[in-house]
Amino acid sequence: MKKLTDKQKSRFWEQRRNVNFQQSRRLEGIEIPLVTLTADEALARLDELRRHYER
């Protein structure tokens, strides 16, 4: 088995964190749809929100 690169480790950790958050919220009876964005999609969304709120 190959070792993961730092970038792969970071992405894996982010995905696990998201899943763990979803599962803990579900245990509390709160359903939140999982949002999956790539880094580029997230940056585009941040730019869009900044343009909207930094008028």
The tens-digit pLDDT sequence of the chain (55 residues) is 889 899 999 989 988 998 898 889 889 998 877 778 888 999 999 999 999 998 7
- Considering Cα of 43, then 9, then 1, then 34, what sign does the dihedral take? negative
Q: In terms of residue numbers, what domain contains 22?
A: 6-53
- CB-based contacts of 27: which residues, under 8 Å, 6+ apart? none
Specify the pLDDT at position 8.
92
Q: Is residue 46 part of a domain?
A: yes
Q: Is residue 1 part of a domain?
A: no
**Count: domains in the chain:** 1
Task: Tokens for 7, please give them.
Answer: 């970038």
Q: Whole-number mean pLDDT of the chain?
A: 89
Q: Is residue 37 part of a domain?
A: yes
Provide the whole-model pTM.
0.49
Specify the pLDDT at position 44.
96
